[in-house]
Amino acid sequence: MITSKLPMHIPDGFLNLVVSIVLWVISIAVIAIALKRVQSQMNERTVPLMGVMAAAIFAGQMLNFPVSGGTSGHLLGAAIATILLGPWAAIVTITSVVATQAIVFQDGGLIALGANLFNMAVVGVAVSYAVYKLFKKLIKSEKASVLVSGFIAAWTSIFIASLACALELALSGTISVNIAVPAMGGIHAVIGIGEGLITVGALVFVLSTRKDLLLGEEKTTATGNRGILVGGSIITMTLAILSPLASSHPDGLEWVADQKGFLEAARDSFYNIIPDYVFPGIQSPTVATIAAGIIGSVIVFGLAYGVASLRQAKQQTVEK
């Protein structure tokens, strides 16, 4: 029986080369479009918010939560990022998180990175945006629509992303489709409830502290940016400090891979920087995990903030 405190994105070895390349091409194309489209949306509020969202999602993903059957789930974050940032900025934000996890923390393979980006940054965001907009139109109460639509969008993003992963596994010949779809869909239908509750909790917090981010109200830029950076940093550091408390049970994909007999197909990375979210050289596992969480959060904040700042600067140059 396997145990793991780690979120497990698709490792190398689960998908064949053709599927991996196709998903790389699709992901690169969508991310390139997102970078171009997000440029015109950059403003003084969006830039710091992208950095803060990336850091908080990274730290949040380290906190696996237990679900039924001895499995665990972890935050995807596509819904909350899409609701607060819009789809194009959300794609860039989730991309910065997933890419950092693969390159720095060896979470998910480098060859499979295109698939992980496709499932989380492309499918997760697209589904979240479509579902959130649909239910926002159907529910009349403004605040209730934010919470109900947010929960449904978050649950659906997890469920559909898991089905995309199942189809990728089937197309790769790793597992038959009639086994992959119910196995992945079933466990992630439960994990999606956790995603929905976390998303609602985050939305309640935003509504009580910065409702302008959700309801389109104006707020003084200087004050608003300071609040975003300070509040986001506190939340991120808190999540990083709590990360050693993550569930020790395997996450949905890892559990399915173990139950269905293809876990051993996973290939280890050919290099290590901060593997398994444990900073090397620190004897205490708790301190090593917290250190990894803080360092990772800083990296993804800098990456997302830097990309947003560059796009904003380019847009300002174009407007001149």
CATH number for region 17-319: 1.10.1760.20
**Of residues 288 and 41, more confidently modeled:** 288
Region of poorest pLDDT, from 43-47, 160-164, 253-257, 303-307:
43-47
- Return the number of other C-beta atoms located less than 10 Å from residue 205's C-beta: 12
**Of residues 73 and 44, more confidently modeled:** 73
Q: Which residues contact 186 (CB under 8 A, 6 or more apart)?
A: none
Q: How confident is the model at residue 280 (pLDDT cuts 50, 70, 90)?
A: very high
**Separation in Å, CA 150 to CA 65, 77, 146, 214, 225:** 19, 11, 6, 11, 24
| pLDDT tens-digit series, residues 6-35 | 446 999 999 999 999 999 999 999 999 999
**pLDDT average, residue stretch 295-311:** 92
- Return the number of other C-beta atoms located less than 10 Å from residue 116's C-beta: 25
Q: Residue 66 phi/psi, 5° resolution?
A: -70, 145
CA dihedral 293, 214, 42, 310 (to 10 degrees): 0
Structure tokens at 24: 């790389």
The residue to which tokens 């996450």 are assigned: 251
Which residues in 62-85 are b (16+ Cβ under 10 Å) and which e?
bbbbebeeebbbbbbbbbbbbbbb
**What does the mean pLDDT of the chain come to?**
90
- Return the number of other C-beta atoms located less than 10 Å from residue 105's C-beta: 26
**Of residues 141 and 106, more confidently modeled:** 106
Q: Where are the domains of the chain?
A: 17-319
Q: How confident is the model at residue 249 (pLDDT cuts 50, 70, 90)?
A: confident
For position 320, what pLDDT does the model report? 62
Residue 184: pLDDT over 90 = yes
Q: Which residues contact 97 (CB under 8 A, 6 or more apart)?
A: 54, 57, 58, 61, 77, 300, 304
For position 303, what pLDDT does the model report? 94
The candidate with the shortest Cα–Cα distance to 17, out of 168, 180, 178, is 168
| pLDDT tens-digit series, residues 198-225 | 999 999 988 888 887 886 555 545 555 6
Q: Which residues contact 115 (CB under 8 A, 6 or more apart)?
A: 10, 15, 19, 20, 23, 24, 27, 165, 168
| pLDDT tens-digit series, residues 125-179 | 999 999 999 999 999 888 899 999 999 999 999 999 999 999 999 999 999 999 9
Region of poorest pLDDT, from 49-58, 62-71, 146-155, 283-292:
62-71
Residue 228: pLDDT over 90 = no
Bridge-partner residues for 9, per DSSP?
A: none
Q: How confident is the model at residue 71 (pLDDT cuts 50, 70, 90)?
A: confident
**pLDDT average, residue stretch 231-256:** 90
For position 112, what pLDDT does the model report? 97
Residue 246: pLDDT over 90 = no
Which residues in 249-275 are b (16+ Cβ under 10 Å) and which e?
bbbbbbbbbbebebbebbeebeeeebb
